[in-house]
Chains A and B, each alone.
Chain A
Amino acid sequence: MSGDKGKMLVKGTIDENLRRVYEETLEEKVPDRFVALLEQLRKRQEKK
């Protein structure tokens, strides 16, 4: 078996694919509901 070298390659392949799956969402535009939510929270904070 290729031992540690093979293990590192498998780990690299897995982590690269994980990153691709993760980045699909990471790169999306944040939905407007969150902009609105933060705006609402900020207003509530000012009233305090």
Chain B
Amino acid sequence: MTPPVDTRDPLEQLMDHLPALRAFAVSLTRNPSSADDLVQDTVVKAWENIGKFQVGTNLRAWLFTILRNTFFSSIRRTRREVADPDGVMAGRLSVKPDHDGRLALNDFRRAFDQLSPEHREVLILVGVSGFSYEEAANMTGVAAGTVKSRASRARAKLCVLLGMEVGEDPLPGGNAEHMAAIAQSGNEAA
């Protein structure tokens, strides 16, 4: 992610990043009204600390970092330190992809909701927002290797929640591999 250097006042650029900040906030909080409160806190903090922003570096990454730090310190106050963010395993949903190979969006959303905030965060940062493992590592304060393994655990967990085998071909192609995968998952279910 190396966008061309924007020479405008960073405060003026804030507006451009609001949609992404809101989408990231909704991904973390899973609640539109807490998400907007979180974005508001982030904007005010960014404004107060704008002098610390190094012009020419990635403003979105800087804003996302403020947002996620604000979010995690607020939930730390309300939940006990979670030793294992992979923690509580929610009930397994049995959802198969539609015929067009897409999952029903509601089923996907429900599974996503059941991930830990750490898992939702990593999937949004590296899976959707296009940040590299290194960038995400800087933003979340962990090693790049941790980001990578967390992302892969988060994907694996989504697969379980969605009733997909990791490594299973989700597209119905009628090929031998796919039929074998179906047969195998049928056996496991039996």
- Chain A residues with a Cβ under 8 A of chain B: 1-3, 5-7, 9-11, 13-28, 30-31, 33-35, 37-38, 41-42, 45
Interface residue count on the B side (C-beta < 8 Å): 45
- B19 and A10 within 8 A (CB): no
Q: Is the CB of B36 within 8 A of A33?
A: yes
Q: Is the CB of B155 within 8 A of A11?
A: yes
Alpha-carbon separation in the docked complex, A25 to B21 (Å): 10
A33:B40 contact, CB within 8 angstroms: yes
- Contact check, B177 vs A34: say whether CB atoms are below 8 A apart: no
List of A residues within 8 angstroms of B44 by Cβ: 37, 41
Main secondary structure of the interface of B (DSSP, over half): helix
Bound complex: CA of A7 vs CA of B171, how far in Å? 12
Q: Smallest Cβ distance from B124 to chain A, in angstroms?
A: 6
Question: Which A residues are in CB contact (< 8 Å) with B47?
Answer: 41, 45
> B19, B27, B123, B184 — which one has the most chain A CB atoms within 10 A of its CB?
B19
A45 CB to closest chain B CB, in angstroms? 7
Q: Provide the residues of chain A in CB contact with B128, threshold 8 Å.
A: 15, 18-19, 22
CB distance from A3 to the nearest CB of B (A): 7
> B123 contacts A18, CB within 8 Å?
yes
* B155 engages A1 (CB within 8 Å): no
User: Is B89 in the interface zone, CB < 8 Å from A?
Assistant: no
Which residues does chain B contribute within 8 Å of A41, judged by CB atoms? 11, 43-44, 47
Bound together, the chains give a CA A1 to CA B23 distance in angstroms of 36
At the interface, yes or no: B142 with Cβ under 8 Å from chain A?
no
Q: How far is the CB of B142 from chain A (nearest CB, A)?
A: 20
Residue of A nearest to B158 (CB): A14
- In the complex, what residues of A have CB within 8 A of residue B180's CB? 1
Question: Are B123 and A7 touching (Cβ within 8 A)?
Answer: no
CA distance A41 to B12 in the complex (A): 11
